[in-house]
Amino acid sequence: MITYEYEILSFPMDRKNSLIEMQAALNAKGQIGWEVVSISSSEFANIGHTAFLKRETSETADAPGTQ
């Protein structure tokens, strides 16, 4: 069975370069196996974003009764 681990990153949008910094951080995570599965924005424009990431764990276990 494939298993995953998850990470949550928050990005405040309070500076001019915030989106560039967000992109750089997500690209860095992608280089080590993380995948963005969702991004949630604040209900108020330009306040911030939360990114939810996942990646496969190195430990996999077979489900009971499978081969």
Domain that holds residue 41: 4-56
Q: Is residue 66 domain-resident?
A: no
Q: Is residue 67 part of a domain?
A: no
- Token readout for 16 is 């001019």
Question: Which residues on neighbouring strands pair with residue 36, listed in sequence order?
Answer: 53
The pLDDT value given to residue 44: 61
Residue predicted with more confidence, 24 or 17: 24
Looking at the structure of the chain, the number of domains it has is 1
Residue 59, pLDDT > 50, answer yes
Q: What mean pLDDT do residues 8-17 have?
A: 84
Examine residue 20 and state whether it is found in any structural domain, yes or no. yes
Helix, strand, coil % over all residues of the chain, rounded to 5: 20, 35, 40
Check pLDDT > 60 for residue 57: yes
Q: Is residue 62 part of a domain?
A: no
pTM for this predicted structure: 0.74
Spatial neighbors of 27 by CB under 8 A, at least 6 apart, are none
Domain-located, residue 35: yes
Query: Residue 47 in contact with residue 10, Cβ under 8 Å?
Result: no
Output the average pLDDT for the chain.
85
